[in-house]
Amino acid sequence: MPQTSNELRDKLMQVYAAKWAAENHPHYEEMLDRFAFHLADAAEDIQHMAGILKDPGLADPIACGKLLHRFFLHALPHLVAAGQLYDYVPDIFPEQQGVHTVPEAGSDETAEKPEPSKQAVISPASN
């Protein structure tokens, strides 16, 4: 792991420890490690996303779409996991309940789709 990644993990662990060390949770060390892992693993995708947000004119729509796809499938789950380890992550938008068909566990997006009756469907929250 590059030195900068070690420095990032160390800083993230310090941040987590400042909030939770005094709680004496029986799984504290594991939660501390997982928190740092999730954020550090997403760091590269976050940096790429920040570049597009800083200057959207630099990326063509296809490259931007690929980046968004990776961000949503890789970085976002890591960010949510880290957020839930750190504190409460609220569901404040109806879209967080989902609007698309969810692939069955273990499948990938290139796999043949199951029959509609076997797909898990998440409906938008009605508000």
pLDDT of 67-98, one tens digit each?
999 999 999 999 999 999 999 999 888 888 88
Query: Tokens 């400042």 map to which residue?
Result: 18
The Cα-based distances of 52 to 24, 43, 45, 70, 76 in angstroms read 41, 15, 11, 13, 16
Contact 107, 53 (CB under 8 A): no
Query: Using CA atoms, how far apart are residues 96 and 122, in angstroms rounded to an integer?
Result: 10
| pTM more than 0.75 | no
Q: What is the mean pLDDT of residues 46-68?
A: 90
The pLDDT, as a whole number, for residue 99 is 82
Query: Using CA atoms, how far apart are residues 75 and 54, in angstroms rounded to an integer?
Result: 18
Query: Which token pair is 52?
Result: 């597009």
